Amino acid sequence: MFRSTFFAATAVAALGLGASVASADNPMVGGAPMFADKTIVENAVNSKDHETLVAAVQAAGLVDVLNSDGPFTVFAPTDAAFGMLKEGTVEALLQPEAKAQLANILKCHVVGAEAMSMAIKGMIDDDGGVHPVPTLGTCTLQATYKGDSIMLEDERGRVINVTIADVQQSNGVIHVVDRVILPPQS
């Protein structure tokens, strides 16, 4: 519903550049294969579960950043995660006057390093069970895990679960999450 013509054209152009091979280790996301030799944006446009995220990245002016070399770790909320926000919130954030606020929210989902799940678990263990995760936004998340499940707590005390981990990208990694990470309230 929020998918833009720009992203659709980008996806078509990317497909025309030659066949990519999805890593055998890369999980499917939103019904689409994820290609380890494509960028975060190039893969996200193919996920039917991330149309709102793709629209938000475009509205916030972050396409070039997430297409750059990185490396990045992106905690990618699904459309269902955006749907959990108060009614009208997504529409309001996609307006041009909310660009700075939207950019900060999205940057709270991005870490300026590549961190696969085993590395995150190792950092959590090294820190005695909770590891602070500074983001490119104004958020510092608290990472924990139980069994194979990684959880993040935002500064509002909300728990965000990683539902699909370790989706390799050419410029980092995506971990699909079930909630939108929100910055601290002012």
Confidence class of residue 19 from pLDDT cuts 50, 70 and 90?
A: very low
Per-residue pLDDT, averaged over 143-167, amounts to 96
Please tell me the predicted confidence (pLDDT) of residue 31: 83
Question: Which residue reads 């091979």 in tokens?
Answer: 21
Q: Which tokens sit at 13?
A: 């152009």
Q: Which CATH number fits domain 5-177: 3.30.1360.120, 2.30.180.10, 3.40.630.10, 3.40.50.2020?
A: 2.30.180.10
The full set of domain ranges for the chain reads 5-177
Backbone phi, psi, residue 32, to 5° = -125, 145
Residue type, 38: K
Cα–Cα dist 60/53, whole Å:
10
Residue 20: the pLDDT is 45
Q: Which residues have CB under 8 Å from 65's CB, separation 6+?
A: none
Q: Which of 173, 181, 151, 159 is nearest to 82 (CA)?
A: 181
Q: What is the pLDDT of residues 54-96, one digit of tens each?
A: 999 999 999 999 999 989 999 999 999 999 999 999 999 999 9
Where do we find the tokens 């069970």? 129
| DSSP-based helix, strand, coil % in the chain, nearest 5 | 35, 25, 45
More confident residue, 30 or 121: 121
Rounded Cα–Cα distance for residues 182 and 123 (Å): 23
